[in-house]
Amino acid sequence: MATERWIQLEEEVPPFTPEIERSTAAVYDRLRNVIPEIEWPVHAPYIAAIRKLKLERKAVVLAHNYQTPEIYHGVADLTGDSLALARAAERTDAEVIVLCGVHFMAETAKLLNPDKVVLIPDLEAGCSLASAITADDVRELRRRHSGIPVVSYVNTSAAVKAESDICCTSSNAVEVVESLGCDRVIFLPDEFLGRYVAGQTDVQVILWRGHCEVHERFSAEDVRSYRRNYDDITVLAHPECPPEVLAEADFVGSTAGMIRHLAARDPRRALMVTECSMSDNVAVEFPHVQFVRPCNLCPHMKRITLPKILRSLRLMEHEVDIEPEVAERARQAVQRMIKVRTVKGNSNDQAG
C-alpha cells in the first residue's frame, strides 16, 4: 500500500529536466529577486506541466493579486483584484476557468459563466469575511430595516449574494452605494470597508461586524513605526484595514488601485498594508521601488499551490457548483454591480 502511494506521488511530481530549465528560464529571470534560485527546480516543472495542460484543456488561469509569485507570474493568464477577476471571468472564451484565489471568487466566476467548468484547486480556500454572515442573517437584517437596500461585498457566499440587491468590491464600493440613489443602505459584511465608504459619501451606512482576519491585525502604530524608520515611505492601505490604520495612509484602495497608484506616483519606497505576497508580485513589476514588507499572510489564499493547480487541471477538480435558484438571484446582484459606471476606471480609491 505504502509503495503504491509512493509510485502515485512520483508520477505527480514532474522532474526538473534541462528542457524545463530552458523553457522556464525567461520566467525565472523576472522572478529572481523574489524567489531564491535554489527553489526554482521545485517550481519550474509544475509551471511547465500546468502551461501544457492549460492548452490541452482550453483552460484559463485567473489569479488574485495575493497569490504567490510562482503562480502569479508563472501560470496565470490574468491577474487582478476581485473586480478585475469577475470581469475577466465574464469575458473569457476558455472552456475551463481555474480560479487561483478563494472560494467566493470561484463562485463569482461560476455565476458569470454558468455553462463553463470553474475549478478551484483547494475547496477549503475560504475567507473570514465570507464566513462572517449567512443568508439567514441577511433576511433578518431586511426584516429589521425594511425597505433599505442591501449592498454585499463580493467577499460573501453565493447564498448571501442571492439575498442582496447589489454587490460591490473594494474598487467600486462608494460608486455602487451611490448608484442606488437612496439615503441609507445596509452594507455587509466588512465593518471597516463599510466605515470607509461611509466616510466618502452622504449615504448613511448600516454596518455588519465582519472583519478580514489579515487586515484587522495591522495597527496605526505599525504604520507610524515604519514612518519613523523611513521618512520617505509611501503608505498604501487596503480599505479592509481598521479606520485608524487608513488614517495613517497616503493612499487607500483596492489591490489593483494600489498598483495603479504606484505606477502613477513612482515612489522610491513603499509600504503596502495588505497581504504579504502582493508586495512580491508588485516588486517584480516595479524593480526600482523599495518595498518594506510587513508579512501578514492570508492562510486561505496560501492554500492554492502549483501542485494543487496541476492536480486540479489533471483531475478537473474541484468543480464549483451553485444551486440554480440561488445562482440566478446571486448572478443578478453581481451583474448589477458590473453595470455600475464608475468615473475613475472603476475606482473609489483615495489618495491622501
End-to-end CA, the chain: 61
- Please report how close the Cβ of residue 350 comes to ligand 13P at its closest, in angstroms: 14
Scored b (16 or more CB within 10 A) or e, 204-221 reads ebbbbebbbbbbbebebe
Neighbouring residues of 7: CB distance < 8 A, sequence distance ≥ 6: none
Whichever of 49 and 84 has its CB closer to ligand 13P, that residue is 84
DSSP-assigned states of every residue in 97-131? EEEES-HHHHHHHHHH-TTSEEE-S-TT---TTGG
- Please report how close the Cβ of residue 171 comes to ligand 13P at its closest, in angstroms: 6
Q: Which of 68, 113, 155, 281 binds ligand SF4 (CB under 6 A)?
A: 155
128 binds, among ligand 13P, ligand SF4, none (CB under 5 to 8 A by kind): ligand SF4
Q: Which of 214, 246, 270, 272 binds ligand SF4 (CB under 6 A)?
A: 214
Using CB under 6 A, count the residues that bind ligand SF4.
13
- Please report how close the Cβ of residue 257 comes to ligand 13P at its closest, in angstroms: 7
Q: Which of 298, 326, 330, 333 binds ligand SF4 (CB under 6 A)?
A: 298
Which helix (H) or strand (E) is 269 found in, with range?
strand 269-273
Rounded CA-CA distance 205/198 in Å is: 6
Whichever of 214 and 273 has its CB closer to ligand SF4, that residue is 214
The C-alpha cell of 307 is what? 501542485
Whichever of 276 and 322 has its CB closer to ligand 13P, that residue is 276
- Please report how close the Cβ of residue 213 comes to ligand SF4 at its closest, in angstroms: 5
Whichever of 24 and 254 has its CB closer to ligand 13P, that residue is 254
Q: Which of 60, 138, 212, 306 binds ligand SF4 (CB under 6 A)?
A: 212
- Please report how close the Cβ of residue 1 comes to ligand 13P at its closest, in angstroms: 41
Cβ–Cβ < 8 Å for 74, 286:
no
Pairing of strands 290-292, 251-252: unpaired
Q: Which residues bind ligand 13P (CB under 6 A)?
A: 65, 81-82, 155, 169-171, 212, 238, 240, 254-255
Q: Does 127 bind ligand SF4 (CB under 6 A)?
A: yes
Helices 82-91 and 103-112 meet at what angle, rounded to 10? 30
Cβ–Cβ < 8 Å for 120, 99:
yes
Q: Which of 107, 163, 165, 275 binds ligand SF4 (CB under 6 A)?
A: 275
Taking CB under 6 A as the criterion, which residues in 81-110 touch ligand SF4? 102
Whichever of 128 and 281 has its CB closer to ligand SF4, that residue is 128
Which of 21-29, 115-123, 276-284, 293-301 is the region at the interface with ligand SF4 (rule: CB under 6 A)?
Answer: 293-301
The C-alpha cell of 157 is what? 457566499
157 binds, among ligand SF4, ligand 13P, none (CB under 5 to 8 A by kind): none
- Please report how close the Cβ of residue 108 comes to ligand SF4 at its closest, in angstroms: 12
Answer whether the bond into residue 318 is a cis peptide, omega within 30°: yes
Whichever of 40 and 208 has its CB closer to ligand 13P, that residue is 208
Cβ–Cβ < 8 Å for 86, 280:
no
- Please report how close the Cβ of residue 238 comes to ligand 13P at its closest, in angstroms: 6
Rounded CA-CA distance 151/331 in Å is: 14
- Please report how close the Cβ of residue 105 comes to ligand SF4 at its closest, in angstroms: 8
Q: Does 129 bind ligand SF4 (CB under 6 A)?
A: yes
Which residue in 238, 217, 209, 229 sits closest to 297, CA to CA?
Answer: 217
Cβ–Cβ < 8 Å for 316, 119:
yes
The angle subtended at Cα 271 by Cα 267 and Cα 276, nearest 5°, is 130
Residues that bind ligand SF4 (CB under 6 A): 102, 127-129, 155, 212-214, 240, 275, 298, 300-301
